Structure 1
Amino acid sequence: MADSSVCVGSRCLCDGYYGTIHFIGAVPPTSGVWLGVEWDDPSRGKHSGEHEGVVYFKTRVSGSGSFVRLKKVFLGCTFMEAVRSKYGRTDDEEGGIMLGGQTVELVGMDKVARKQSEWSQLEEVSLRDMDVSSAGPRAEIATALPNLKRLNLDQSPLLPNWETVSDIASQLQHLDSLDLSEDRGLGHVPVDLMESLSASFLTLRTLYLNRVGISWNNLALILQAVPRLEAVHVCENNIASLRFEGDEKPYIPEGLQLLNLEKNCLSDWSDIVRLEPQLKKLKTLILTDNRLPSIFLEKKAFPELKSLSLSGNLISQWPSVTSLASVPSMLQLKLKDCPLLKDEPGFSARHLIIALLPHITTLNRSAISARERVLSERYYIKHYGAKWLDCKSDESAKKAFLLEHPLFLHLVDVHGLPDEVLMRQKPVTTALKHGLISVSVRCPGRPEQRSLDKKLPATMTVQKLKGVLQRVYRVDTSDQRLSYLDSRGDCEIQLDDDLKQLNFFSIESGDTILLRW
């Protein structure tokens, strides 16, 4: 950026610190021009915008401001300067083009034609961490990159505002995907810029705004400006509520298929429910690592939802899981690392979730086979069978049980009730005297993990073994990859079927089980 284009609101870099310029002018009794900067990292600041009792600007964070000389700061580069730096430049002595680290020597007008043709073929450009701060001369981008569809401006901390984004996007007539993650100047969306943004985003379908500090109200303005939007990612923005100012419902593009709100601060499921009428075409909803204590889905809600991610929330009751069965279109679920599953071994939690949700085909990225579903449903009956037996003679207790386990009787109709003795059987806590195999467990490539010598029942399934290893090594069962070496150490065999018993793979005493993740 040229010095003449410095203005209040510009972003700058000084000695490794990024900031926003809030003041340009004299600061008596010193001479010359000073820049008043509020730093992203408050520890870089010295005051809040005042000097000798005079307030020149105000900082949002107390003590995060200071004055610096213009010559001390870097103000970034134009969009095409960044493109030339990364994708081709003409700075060698003979005037050749630098492409892929090699100089291509061209003559006369061929130089320009070749360089432009190389850029004109680009459909994807990544200027991540290239310190782009302005669009540059009007139409320069449109002329050089007429076919660009996917643009990554992730980590462009000198990008000052949405007006600059609009200036860039308006020149890309085929722009389909735009990544603006970690661009801290984009937290505020001026209402008077809406018309310009709408004209710039006519073709945009995918937008990334992760870690930009944007609120739900400002995001709602952006959604209004992108009518064809199909996917929006707004992770780690400290969004605590999805309610619009004035309790109005924000406009959401009718074609939105993916909404990613991972790692925010949402704690009220009703916020999601309020948006449901506007999300009829939503296929993927990502709510990982929020603060939701419970969820409830009614029948016909989210009619096209196929994938739901709820891991890392505060869900603590099984009815939250049971309600997901009311969405028959949902095939994929991610649910782990929540209080509900804290006391359940990995294999047990997986069995219970699968039994409750007859429509899902994938749980925590692991496919569910027909055989696993049968085993899960039978496990569910046995798991709650004793409780059912205890309340059968008490109508009120029976009613409460069926309210909590609405699928129990249906599963009993399908599989029948096990023997009462089997349902009341306590988990085995003493070592079996017979049918045990002595194995070692090692974690290749992870020297910090201790080896383990263990006696295991030959009839133990791989899934149950994963549950044991989860408790020992704190590795989720869905992330484990198991194999074993025979006692001679010359043959490694994959344990690739969770439902098979160890003796199916011919594991014997003296063999070594290898755990990778």
Structure 2
Amino acid sequence: MAVVAPPSLVDRIRERYMDDDDEAGGDVMIQSFLSSSPKKLSGERARLQLVVLNHKSIHSIGDVPQFANLVRGVHEVDLAWNKISNWKEVSTMLKHLPQLRIFNLSHNNLESDLGDVEIPHCPHLDTLILNGTNLSLDCIRKVARQMPVLHELHLSQNNFDPDYFDSESAGPSGEGKENGAISDSVSLIHLNRCRISRWSDALKMLSLFPKRETVFLCENPIREIRDKKQESEPPYSSIRMINLSKTGISDWTSIDHIEHWPRLVDLRINNIPLLDEYTEEEKLHLVVGRLDKLELLNGSSITKEQRECSERFFIRYYEEKEERPKKYDALLAKHGQLEKLVKVDLSPKSHVTVRVKCEETAFDQEMDLKVTKTVGQLMRQIEEPVGVAYDRMRLFYFQTYNEEDETNDCSELRYPKQLLHNLHVDDGAMFLVTSKIIPSRKRAQTKSTSSNSESN
């Protein structure tokens, strides 16, 4: 039984992007960005610019000349979740992708060491995505050095060698100095879910990217931020944006340390243990009040008015606390001693005192009324004291009532399920009870007989 060869990259490209009638050297149709499936553009022919082939069990390129002809205009290649392991295949791909700007090899079982494979020069490659590949830092360095304009590097879901972090020589004075930074051009680095638990380890990683400005460290078990004084410029000094959402940060001292980062203007700290016990208002004001230079918090802009509001909230929040952060004195010097805010209860009343009157039974009394009741429940409540049966009762509501004013506005309450609080009932309102006029059966029959006699 013949062994079926695994599908190659060329096979998958032709299968997904080419017409049945297209020949190997012919043009192919560009993939539509409006659909997950390829779309043929009627009347137009264009060379392929985007290749997305995830979960296709691709091991190798296949026919290299065909590949070179098919992809010479491609700008973006996404081959995540395949079975590419040999760096020679990757090297050949890059050699024949002269226009490549974005390259995704996430979750391929790539060899950790390049060996004697040389990565070709990639003059236009801007974004490299290597999530879940568990490559060594030395391997990443050798690859990145062939990409002079690399701006964005994704290294999430990688378990980096703990020996690197534990080594005293790690960082700029050790591996970084001997072998150089991983990239001198990367400014945006993703290190989410890399099991980094110590802030010192995060700093060692960041030190390998001298131009880092935007850093993602989400879902790492970092519990605290502690910055030691360093003779050289610390790695966090150039960071403008950092995302620490879903980390284990649990103390305000960590946020206080962030205040000393000279260029930080954008902070993301959603879903961290520190803020679990606070209201949304407290989360906002207690963070903004600490960080003078912050312009964005969790994606929302901080206006001048918002900052002043947060700083004043910060002062009032801590003025009666025994332990106050260092920032408290600085803000107190800025805004001075603030008067305590008067707490005004704007919640709706639950009980009101109203007047209930029925001229037919000479009933006229003030009663305590729970405004969460319905009209029907009120009628049941007053049925016995007023002396009018529920099924014969008509109920009128006066929001204000003046005995001498014959034009008092009133409304009849006809719907038993209507809630009283929807009427905005307040103290002093009045309910007037009358009886329904129900004709007796005998009187109705007499009237009917009389009408019949007259007609005869």
Equivalent residue runs for 1:245-264 within 5 Å: 247=170, 248-250=174-176, 251-264=181-194
Structure 1 contact 306–330 (Cα < 8 Å) conserved: yes
Instruction: Give the deviation of 1:272 after TM superposition.
Output: 2.9
Say if 2:86 is the partner of 1:155. no
Structure 1 residue aligned with 2:299? 365
Secondary structure, aligned partner of 1:159: coil
Structure 2 residue aligned with 1:352? 286
Take 1:258 and 1:91, find their aligned partners in 2: how far apart are those partners? Answer: 43
Say if 2:195 is the partner of 1:274. no
Secondary structure, aligned partner of 1:409: helix
Distance change in 2, residues 1:177/1:128 (3 Å): same
More strand by share: 1
1:433-462 Cα shifts (integer Å, max 9, x gaps)? 754389xxxxxxxxxxxxxxxx9xxxxxxx
Instruction: Give the deviation of 1:82 after TM superposition.
Output: 1.9
- For structure 1, the residue ranges without an aligned partner over 5 or more in a row are 1-68, 106-113, 392-400, 439-454, 456-508, 512-517
Take 1:331 and 1:343, find their aligned partners in 2: how far apart are those partners? Answer: 25
Secondary structure, aligned partner of 1:186: coil
Equivalent residue runs for 1:76-87 within 5 Å: 76-77=7-8, 79-87=9-17
Take 2:291 and 2:326, find their aligned partners in 1: how far apart are those partners? Answer: 12
Equivalent residue runs for 1:375-414 within 5 Å: 375-387=309-321, 390=322, 401=324, 405-414=325-334
Distance change in 2, residues 1:103/1:410 (3 Å): closer
1:300-334 Cα shifts (integer Å, max 9, x gaps)? 64444221001111112212111212223222111
Say if 2:140 is the partner of 1:228. no
The TM-score normalised by the length of structure 1 is 0.57
Instruction: Give the deviation of 1:104 after TM superposition.
Output: 7.5
The TM-score normalised by the length of structure 2 is 0.64
Of the three residues 160, 168, 190, the one matched with 1:239 is: 160
Provide the aligned C-alpha RMSD in A. Answer: 3.5
Could you tell me which amino acid in structure 1 is paired with residue 165 of structure 2?
A: R
Of the three residues 170, 187, 204, the one matched with 2:95 is: 170
Report the count of equivalent residues. Answer: 332
Instruction: Give the deviation of 1:344 after TM superposition.
Output: 1.6
Name whichever of 366-375 and 269-278 sits farther off: 269-278
Take 2:67 and 2:250, find their aligned partners in 1: how far apart are those partners? Answer: 52
Take 1:249 and 1:103, find their aligned partners in 2: how far apart are those partners? Answer: 52
Instruction: Give the deviation of 1:125 after TM superposition.
Output: 2.2
Instruction: Give the deviation of 1:216 after TM superposition.
Output: 4.2
Larger CA Rg, structure 1 vs 2 = 2
Could you tell me which amino acid in structure 2 is paired with residue 206 of structure 1?
A: T
Structure 1 residue aligned with 2:56? 130
Could you tell me which amino acid in structure 1 is paired with residue 128 of structure 2?
A: L
Structure 2 residue aligned with 1:294? 224
Take 1:411 and 1:237, find their aligned partners in 2: how far apart are those partners? Answer: 42
Name whichever of 131-140 and 314-323 sits farther off: 131-140
- For structure 2, the residue ranges without an aligned partner over 5 or more in a row are 30-37, 351-371, 373-420, 424-456
Instruction: Give the deviation of 1:223 after TM superposition.
Output: 3.5
Structure 1 residue aligned with 2:348? 436
Structure 2 contact 183–210 (Cα < 8 Å) conserved: no
Take 2:183 and 2:111, find their aligned partners in 1: how far apart are those partners? Answer: 20
Name whichever of 140-149 and 298-307 sits farther off: 298-307
Of the three residues 126, 132, 137, the one matched with 1:211 is: 132
Structure 1 residue aligned with 2:259? 325
